[in-house]
């Protein structure tokens, strides 16, 4: 009797273990969901592989095009060099025009010192061209001409005398400019060997400053300390 009871208990324990294993095992629905996830992951991998193959084909086509177009690249380089050279020439010409404009429109009276009268260029005739660049150059030349000649008239001279009488401010001659969209205050070139700017402006234009402690003394103003010097700078 005791032996039969032990067998029954062992059998019940085994049945309980089987039911527990069945509960932990995935059902049909769970297996289906798991398989669907695996299939989706495989599809994504296939798409990634296809995308990589397309990119490889594109890269091979680019390499082939570059290999066959070495001469074309050299021609493009030559064209770019020619364009850069032309732009540099135009910048030099523009620099001369800007310097002339600064001298012409600035006040020629600073204390007892008078700036020499700038040479007025003859105005150019309009050739009837339709090129936008030529039209811009023509308009700029006309503006320079009228700005230069307005001070030779009685009205211009009277206006300059009135400015001299009403202005009691003494100091350096500056003009307000706009370079690349930035407002700049620059000194007028009066033929002096040295010009002076603030530390802030020197940092802004990334000038190579050499340490040189000294003083600057302008007319009717107190002496100020200088912190450095920039050699060979041009504007």
Residue-by-residue DSSP string for 74-126: HHHHHHHHHHHHHHHHHHHHHHHHHHHHHHHHS-SEETTEEPPPPPPPPPPPP
Mean pLDDT of the region 136-144:
70
- The pTM of this model reads 0.23
State the first-to-last Cα distance of the chain, in angstroms, to the nearest integer. 117
Side-chain half-sphere CA neighbours of 76 within 13 A: 6
Q: What is the mean pLDDT of residues 206-213?
A: 75
pLDDT tens digits along 74-127: 777 778 888 888 888 888 888 877 777 777 666 444 443 444 454 555 555 545
Grade residue 159 by pLDDT with cuts at 50, 70 and 90: low
Burial class (CB in 10 A: 0-12, 13-18, 19+), 190: middle
Quote the tokens at residue 24.
């932990």
Residue 183 and residue 181: Cα distance in Å, rounded? 7
What is the pairing mode between strands 113-114 and 210-216? unpaired
Instruction: Kindly list the domain boundaries of the chain, sorted by start residue.
Output: 2-68, 78-190, 193-235
**What are the pLDDT digits (tens) for 24-79?**
666 667 777 777 888 888 888 888 888 888 888 888 888 777 777 666 667 777 78
pLDDT bin (cut points 50, 70, 90) of residue 8 is: confident
In this prediction, residue 149 carries a pLDDT of 60
pLDDT in tens, 169-186: 545 567 777 766 777 776
Structure tokens at 25: 């095992």
Q: What is the DSSP string of 15-80?
A: HHHHHHHHHHS--HHHHHHHHHHHHHHHHHHHHHHHHHHHHHHHHHHHHHHHHHTHHHHHHHHHHH
User: Is residue 168 very low, low, confident or very high in pLDDT (cuts 50, 70, 90)?
Assistant: very low
């Amino acid at each position: 009797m005791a032996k039969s009871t032990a067998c029954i208990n062992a059998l019940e324990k085994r049945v309980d273990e089987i039911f527990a294993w069945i509960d932990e095992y995935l059902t049909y629905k769970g297996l289906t969901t798991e398989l669907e996830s695996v299939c989706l992951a495989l599809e994504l991998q296939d798409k990634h592989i296809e995308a990589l193959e397309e990119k490889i084909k594109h890269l091979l086509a680019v390499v082939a095009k570059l290999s066959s177009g070495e001469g074309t690249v050299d021609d493009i380089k030559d064209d770019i060099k020619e364009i850069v050279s032309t732009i540099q020439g135009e910048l030099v010409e523009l620099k001369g025009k800007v310097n002339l404009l600064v001298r012409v429109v600035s006040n020629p009276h600073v204390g007892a010192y008078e700036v020499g009268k700038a040479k007025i260029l003859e105005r150019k005739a309009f050739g009837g061209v339709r090129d936008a660049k030529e039209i811009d150059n023509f308009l700029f030349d006309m503006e320079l001409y009228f700005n230069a000649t307005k001070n030779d008239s009685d009205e211009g001279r009277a206006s300059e005398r009135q400015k001299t009488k009403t202005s009691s401010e003494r100091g350096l001659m500056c003009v307000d400019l706009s370079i690349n969209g930035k407002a700049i205050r620059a000194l007028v070139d009066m033929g002096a060997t040295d010009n002076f700017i603030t530390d802030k402006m020197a940092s802004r234009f990334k000038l190579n400053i050499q340490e040189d402690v000294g003083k600057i003394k302008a007319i009717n103003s107190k002496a100020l300390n200088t912190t450095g010097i920039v050699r060979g700078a041009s504007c």
